[in-house]
Structure 1
Amino acid sequence: MSSALSLTALSNRPLADADIPTICGFPRTAEELYFLFPRAVWPLTPDQVRATLGLRRDPTVVTLTEDGRERVVGYANYATFEDGRTASIGNVSVDPTLRRRGIAEYLVRTMIDRAFDHHHLPELTLYCFSTNTPGLLLYAKLGMMPIALETRVTPWGEPIALFKLRMDRASWRSAAPIAA
């Protein structure tokens, strides 16, 4: 039985090169890798992650501190970024042993807050495959709304739907919890 982790045990920071091998262990199968890093080739390697860094912005890890030890448990970045206009959250991935315990929500909220509070963007998007029900439910919970549906073909030849979701800064502000 999984349970939410204490938010005080989670923190975030910029990706360090030493974190990359850990992130490479997040996808358990070639299919899962396709959903997390669609352009990557199984198995995910540090060189593949490093090759994306020049194309991405704000690579971010979530760390979990237990018994005084920190470990990387999540990763995301902005797959696209247009100063003053928009960004798209990409490569949202979580340690497979800790999924459905609040890490993805913490990570996505971090990326949303950064887009609106630090970068002052008016909108934010992300893409999510139709088979990722937990992801779609999380994004809906956070207030992201579907705005488009694209058809893609998986590496194994099956058609799959890819949702584009969007949120604007005003919607996030109205949904964000008020600080006490």
Structure 2
Amino acid sequence: MSSALSHAVLSHRPLADTDIPTICGFPRDAEELYFLFPRAVWPLTPDQVRATLGIRRDPTVATLIGDGRERVVGYANYATFEDGRTASIGNVSVDPGLRRRGIAEYLVRTMIDRAFDHHHLSELTLYCFSTNTPALLLYAKLGMVPIALETRVTPWGEPIALFKLRMDRAGWCSAAPIAA
């Protein structure tokens, strides 16, 4: 863990409206925005994020708490949700200055735990573009397996592969670390 994270506590909580401007700063350019929020238009605005809240479930932020302050460093939600059955994790994004330091893993684990332990879902899915190798490796590490591949066309006209990954409750429960 980096020195920026070593003295802070990583936590999570529901999204607050005051968090939205921070989340809008996570994508660094139009291409990155497409990978994080495929239906959004550059630049990401608070109104675009707010517009998704009516169709998304459990919007969650990851926070760093240190020196008496809380800093929003990640965001995720369920893009789709069927009570008692399935959900799809969406909009996983992390502060660009803190990427590859465990925040995405913490946030995705939080969403997986909530899906299976709180909502009692039988399965969980997510979509990830083929060019996002760090995310694909993270999802594989967590036990998600590819089940489909779709072809999409980026806003700049290039074809791109979109993986659908899946995990079931039994697989997560057998892989989840045991609390001490």
Name the TM-score class by shorter chain.
over 0.9
Q: Could you tell me whether the CA contact under 8 Å between 2:84 and 2:120 is conserved in 1? A: yes
Q: Could you tell me whether the CA contact under 8 Å between 2:152 and 2:161 is conserved in 1? A: yes
Q: Could you tell me whether the CA contact under 8 Å between 1:145 and 1:166 is conserved in 2? A: yes
Q: Could you tell me whether the CA contact under 8 Å between 1:77 and 1:90 is conserved in 2? A: yes
Distance 1:25 1:109 in 2: 23
Structure 1 residues 30 and 43: CA distance shift in structure 2, 3 A = same
- Number of the residue aligned with 1:54: 54
In the TM superposition, residue 5 of structure 1 has moved relative to its aligned partner by: 3.6
Q: Which runs of 5+ in 2 are unaligned?
A: none
In the TM superposition, residue 6 of structure 1 has moved relative to its aligned partner by: 4.8
- Number of the residue aligned with 2:73: 73
Q: Could you tell me whether the CA contact under 8 Å between 1:57 and 1:77 is conserved in 2? A: yes
Give runs of ≥4 in structure 1 deviating > 6 Å. none
Q: TM-score scaled by structure 2?
A: 0.97
Structure 1 residues 7 and 109: CA distance shift in structure 2, 3 A = farther
- Number of the residue aligned with 1:156: 156
Distance 1:120 1:41 in 2: 34
Q: Which runs of 5+ in 1 are unaligned?
A: none
In the TM superposition, residue 4 of structure 1 has moved relative to its aligned partner by: 8.9
Equivalenced residue count is 180
Structure 1 residues 78 and 6: CA distance shift in structure 2, 3 A = farther
Structure 1 residues 3 and 102: CA distance shift in structure 2, 3 A = farther
Distance 1:97 1:8 in 2: 15
- Percent pairwise identity: 91
* Residues 69-127 of structure 1: CA deviation (Å, up to 9, x unaligned): 10100000000000011000000000000000000000000000000000000000000
Describe the SS at the equivalent of 1:5. Answer: helix
Distance 1:140 1:3 in 2: 27
CA RMSD of aligned residues (A): 1.6
Q: TM-score scaled by structure 1?
A: 0.97
* Residues 120-172 of structure 1: CA deviation (Å, up to 9, x unaligned): 00000000000000000000000000000000000000000000000000000
In the TM superposition, residue 68 of structure 1 has moved relative to its aligned partner by: 1.5
Distance 1:113 1:3 in 2: 27
Q: Could you tell me whether the CA contact under 8 Å between 1:4 and 1:100 is conserved in 2? A: no
Q: Could you tell me whether the CA contact under 8 Å between 1:79 and 1:88 is conserved in 2? A: yes
